[in-house]
Chain A
Amino acid sequence: MIEITSSRKNSITVTSPVLFAAGTVGFDGSPYRKLLSMDKFGALVTPPITFAPRQPATGPRVVPLPSGFLMHTGLPNPGINRVVRDYEKKWKRSVLPIIVHLVAEAPHKVEQAVQIIERSQVVAGIELGVHEQTTMRELSTLLEAARQHCDLPIMVQLPLYNAVPLGEVAQYNGADGLVVAAPPRGTARDTQTGRLIGGRLYGPWVKAQTLRVVGRVVQYAEVPVIASGGIHTPDDARDFLTAGAKAVQLDSVVWTQPHMAEMIATDLSGIDATRTTRTYVWQDDEIYSVSIEPPPTLPELPNLEDVTQQADVDAEWKD
């Protein structure tokens, strides 16, 4: 058994270090029940859920890229109340522990949403999705709000490019685990409509960047680190475990190569190493010789409302 959150009364233990990343198999795994052996995986993270219902984005949502794709769904979901009501019974019967991915909006919404999740008594833990422009102060306020009435383990899904400083803040403010990282954001032109679309990026190229960040976060992390980003082979996954991650999350590989996703889970769940490359030792000296830096003083970023207003001004840069 692998403990993927810090050791305490309600910590999450899984049988496989390979988990489904947020939104990859739906709210209860049913879209993949016929395609994958769910019991080979460690846990299921739900799609991002907000406090209130959200509608899907309008216009094109997917832009294929040379080595991956960009996706902007608008995080459609019926809101936490409805999701818990609709899926509570299915989660109870689930062979996998259910981790609810909660979008970290305003602190008061997080506080209320966490209470709704905890009341359901069928959820193993919460993954708090943090916006990439969240400041350290905002993150500590969000975690304080989440922690106030919640005994469930709370993991924080960090934005890739701010993961190192925000991870440290999350850990010192009660996070039970760090998920490194959310898919990075980008902008690409949709060839059909000619519009620029902002969204999250997926593909094998994300792995190299995520691996570097995971290597830095595990240097100071006193809570388990779960790696997520660009994993497409068992060796990719094993690289993250070698770097110090306790578990990995699979994202777009589940959609494009379901068979490979199962192969990764089967391979990583066993003790036998079937690595196709010979290297088991990390040779990137930079990662292990890196000194633990004090939390850098970041310039104060604009708060989320200002950012939203700015985004509205430039209608073409839809995100």
Chain B
Amino acid sequence: MRETEASIERIWRVAPDIQRLELRVDDALRHLEAGQSLLATGASYLREQWLPVEVKQNSLIVERRMDSSYTPGQTVSLLGPIGNAFPWIAGQQKRLLLIAYDTYPTPLLLLADKALKQSASVALVLLSSAREYPFSALPTAIEVISGHDNAVWPERDETILWADQIFAVTKDALSQEYLSELAQIVKTLKMNLHINTFFGVVNPIQPCGTGACMACMVRCKTTNKLSCMDGPAFDLTEILLV
């Protein structure tokens, strides 16, 4: 964890409400892993959580909603990296199922990118408001499945049984209602929830990103954990679901 400065090199719009920023960053941030994020100074008082969607040799690409405006050449203060790499099992024959439920799949895109580069198969399910996410902003090698307003999508049972690992990002992850719904489905289909199979991505607003404020604490079966220190991916066998 360091406080560094980055300059915004390029800005482009990928959808009416989504923009991407290319950042020239400190050396330490060029090896960001899928799952890790940054806290950046912006227009609001709290630092904004910036989620990388692509890591290049000399720069990072992050995705932001259009509610903030940036200018090329602008310098921002970054705090990071926040969190740990997603515990995905790399490998050629691996099958990864990503689910975005009522929120955009941005936290999962770097994982999809890295998995595809290692010849894994990746399917992305967009549920509820996540369906508004532009397909054009996704890598072409991903199989995108557009679902419904609830946890239902075409060939749902087959895709769940097909996947080696599942990562789900949901709206209001701290209340865990959506995660519980998905966990129940997986539990029924796969006979139970097995360790290292299904992960919930919990990315709430983080005032500090260092583990001090405890605003991102996730209730677990044993010791409670912090999203900024132990997450953002939590094995659903480990956390206390509602």
Residues of A within 8 A of B (CB): 23-26, 31-32, 34-35, 47, 55-56, 58-62, 64-69, 71, 73, 76, 192-193, 202-204, 252, 254-259
A24 to B214, CA, bound (A): 10
Chain A hits for B2, CB < 8 A:
34-35
Measured CB to CB, the nearest residue on chain B to A67 is B45
B142 CB to nearest A CB, Å = 26
The interface residues of chain B lying within 8 Å CB-to-CB of A203 are 45
Question: A60 near B204 (CB under 8 angstroms)?
Answer: yes
With A192-B172, A255-B207 already in contact, the answer to whether A62 and B45 are too (CB < 8 A) is no
Q: Which of A26, A61, A256 contacts B47 (CB 8 A)?
A: A256
Contacts of B213 in A (CB 8 A): 23-24, 71, 73, 255
Shortest Cβ distance from residue B232 to the other chain A in the assembled complex, whole angstroms: 15
Q: Is the CB of A35 within 8 A of B215?
A: no
Is B205 a contact of A34 with CB atoms below 8 Å?
A: no
For A60, the chain B residues whose CB sits under 8 A away are 172, 174-175, 204-205
Nearest-neighbour CB distance to chain B for A91, whole angstroms, equals: 16
Query: Do B215 and A55 have beta carbons less than 8 Å apart?
Result: no
Q: Is the interface of A mostly helix, strand, loop or mixed?
A: loop
Q: A35 to B45, Cβ gap below 8 A? A: no
Chain B hits for A47, CB < 8 A: 214
Count of chain A to chain B residue pairs whose CB atoms are closer than 8 Å in the complex? 104
Q: Contact at B174–A58, with CB atoms within 8 Å?
A: yes
Chain B nearest Cβ from A193, distance in angstroms: 5
- Residues from chain A with Cβ under 8 Å of B214 in the complex: 23, 47, 56, 73, 76
Of the candidates A58, A59, A64, A255, the one whose C-beta lies within 8 Å of that of B208 is A255
Chain B contact residues: over half helix, strand or loop, or mixed? Answer: loop
Proximity bits, B105-129, A CB within 8 Å = 1, else 0: 0000000000000000000000000
In the complex, chain A residues whose CB is within 8 Å of the CB of B204: 60-62
Structural contact, B205 and A73, CB atoms closer than 8 A:
no
Across the interface, B212 reaches (CB within 8 A) one of A31, A64, A193, namely A31
How many of chain B's residues have a CB under 8 angstroms from any CB in A? 32
Contact residues in B for A69 (Cβ distance below 8 Å): 45-46, 205, 207
Question: Could you list 13 A-B pairs, sorted by A, with CB under 8 Å?
Answer: A23-B213, A31-B211, A32-B210, A55-B224, A58-B219, A60-B205, A61-B174, A62-B205, A64-B44, A64-B46, A71-B215, A256-B41, A258-B79
Residue of A nearest to B228 (CB): A31
CB atoms of B1 and A71 under 8 A apart:
no
Bound-complex Cα distance A61 to B41 (A):
20
The 3 closest A-B pairs by CB, nearest first: A255-B208, A31-B210, A62-B205
- B193 contacts which chain A residues (CB < 8 A)? none
B132 contacts partner chain A, Cβ-Cβ < 8 Å: no
A107 to B206, CA, bound (A): 34
Determine how close the nearest CB of chain B comes to the CB of A197; give it in whole angstroms: 11
Identify which of B1, B214, B219, B224 gathers the most chain A CB atoms within 10 Å of its CB: B214
Q: Is A192 in contact with B210, judged by CB distance below 8 angstroms?
A: no
Beyond A25-B212, A60-B205, A257-B77, 11 extra complex contacts between A and B, CB < 8 Å: A23-B212, A31-B211, A32-B212, A58-B242, A60-B172, A76-B217, A202-B207, A254-B208, A256-B47, A259-B3, A259-B77
